[in-house]
Amino acid sequence: MLSKLRSLVLFHIALLLSAQAMAASSIWYAEDDPLATKLELPPQVYGAGFQPALSGLTCADIQYNQALSLSEVAEAALCNNPQTYEAYANAKVQAAQLGIAKSAFLPSLNNTSSFNENLANPSSVTRGREFSNLGNNLAASYLLYDFGNRAANLENARQLLQAVSATQNAVVQNVLLAAISAYYQVQTDIAALAASKEAESFNLESFKAAEARYKAGVSTPADKLQAETAYAQAVLRRITAEGQLKTDYGVLANVMGLNASTPVTLIATSNSPSNTSEIEQDIAQLIEYARVRRPDLLASEAQLSAAKANIAASQAAAKPTVSLGLSNSFSDGSSLTSSNTSTLGVTVSVPIFAGYAPTYRIRAAEATAQVREAQRDRLKLQISLDVWSAFQRLRTAHETIQSAEVLVKSATESARVALGRYKAGVGNIIDNLNAQNALASANQQRIQAYLNRNIARASLAQAIGTLDSVMIQSLPDGNQNLSETTP
């Protein structure tokens, strides 16, 4: 009985020590980032409660019930669009993988405690056969040398984290470009709707003039019908413009991470004049600059480096390892036996034959590196095309704006003269309607030219890899002055 009591006391002591060890280890596990992997995460975080890159406000401070500027629309997109925090979550996943790779450089420690009590029927057991057994085993191990396998795996994880971080930057720039495009599309739709309303008013005035001339008996029914047809077409264009504006408002809200039905209001500002210095840059230098700044190319370079590190890891995995082991084993068999044994030793593990699997792992790693290198080279070529195309679109847009401004002035004056001549009875309805159509077309071309210019500027910045807060704040906010062309 005393032996059982002693075993129970020892068992409870072991349980207490194990509980303390678990409490201590729980501190390690509760630590959010004991290996400081967060320091290697990208610096900017977007989502509720975080500070946007474009202002000192937090995401929760954006006032969606007020008219928004381009910067505020871009901030809302970064704060609310799921793509931004999905990209950051992917970065956190890879940061955790980096922590796993770092943990391979630390020793491992395991403790096992056990208690066994003979529960056989006393009537069937002879005296002296009743016993209890208390055991505890503490083992520590540390990998001394592995021919660089751990270091290669760590480099692989670190490069993949850099790739994910660069990919996050690329996602942010893509979201910004989508927000800018949607913003300018809505501003263009607003200007187009205003121009359609003015054209409708202009056609209504022509129709009233034709009707008055017909009632006065100085024009034919054909003049009245042609003017009425032109007015009906203008009404249809205005209705179409209203529908397009509502559709693009939904697109804008969606890019901002809001429901498509959420009301959004934009500030009414005028467009900025053309800045020809943008198209006077050296295109070759822009391409080279893009190959340094483009986040997707940086991600591709990091993936190539990770693939090369994986080759080294695969080669090292097929080589021997040297480990250091330390253990202590305690066993109290009560009336039977008791022991307390400690061991210290070095273990050398030599892989002899694994069915050629290591060979093919190395071959697969080498082929993967070749794939990553080809993808990197293909992306370099694509970047040169992206920059070239965006630069030419911007150049074309600048030239188109200049021509469109001249065209609008000429068409406006022509429409005024034609309408005046028709009202005075010295012009015909065909000339008047043609002048009105030419003016409406010129207004639409100018509006589209400014849209193309604004989007081309953002596209070029994104192609180079410089679409950021400074770039966005340099962009104009709207096209509201483009519709002021009423004769």
Per-residue confidence of the chain (487 residues) as pLDDT tens digits? Answer: 445 545 545 445 544 544 554 444 444 444 678 888 888 887 655 554 445 555 556 677 788 888 998 888 988 898 888 888 888 889 999 999 999 999 999 999 988 888 777 665 555 555 545 556 788 888 899 999 999 999 999 999 999 999 999 998 899 899 999 999 999 999 999 988 988 998 898 889 888 888 888 888 887 888 888 888 989 999 999 999 999 999 999 999 999 989 999 999 998 766 555 566 666 678 889 999 999 999 999 999 999 999 999 999 999 999 999 999 998 888 876 555 678 888 889 999 999 998 999 999 999 999 999 999 999 999 999 999 999 999 999 999 988 988 998 999 999 888 888 888 888 877 788 888 888 888 888 888 888 888 888 899 899 999 999 887 767 777 776 544 444 433 3
Q: The domain that contains 208 carries what CATH number?
A: 1.20.1600.10
| The pair of three-digit structure tokens given for residue 263, joined into one six-digit string | 């009301």
Predicted confidence at residue 481, as pLDDT, reads 45
Round to whole Å and give the CA distance between 446 and 188. Answer: 10
Round to whole Å and give the CA distance between 59 and 75. Answer: 7
Residue 26 counted as domain residue: no
| Nearest Cα to Cα of residue 450 among 191, 170, 113, 133 | 191
Amino acid at 306: A
Predicted confidence at residue 9, as pLDDT, reads 52
Residue 151 counted as domain residue: yes
Predicted confidence at residue 177, as pLDDT, reads 93
Q: Quote the crossing angle between the two packed helices 295-317 and 357-423, to the nearest 10°.
A: 170
Residue 192 counted as domain residue: yes
Residue 131 counted as domain residue: no
Residue 3 counted as domain residue: no
Residue 20 counted as domain residue: no
Domain encompassing residue 160: 32-121+136-483
Amino acid at 452: N
Rounded-to-10 torsion of CA 275, 277, 282, 287: -40
Predicted confidence at residue 30, as pLDDT, reads 45
Residue 147 counted as domain residue: yes
Contacts of 273 by beta carbon, 8 Å cutoff, 6+ apart:
none
- Measuring CA to CA, how many Å separate 69 from each of 187, 193, 259, 451? 11, 20, 19, 16
Q: In what order do the strands lie in the sheet with 132-145?
A: 108-117, 132-145, 321-332, 338-349
3-class SS shares of the chain: helix, strand, coil, % to 5:
65, 10, 25
Residue 450 counted as domain residue: yes
User: Count of domains in the chain?
Assistant: 1
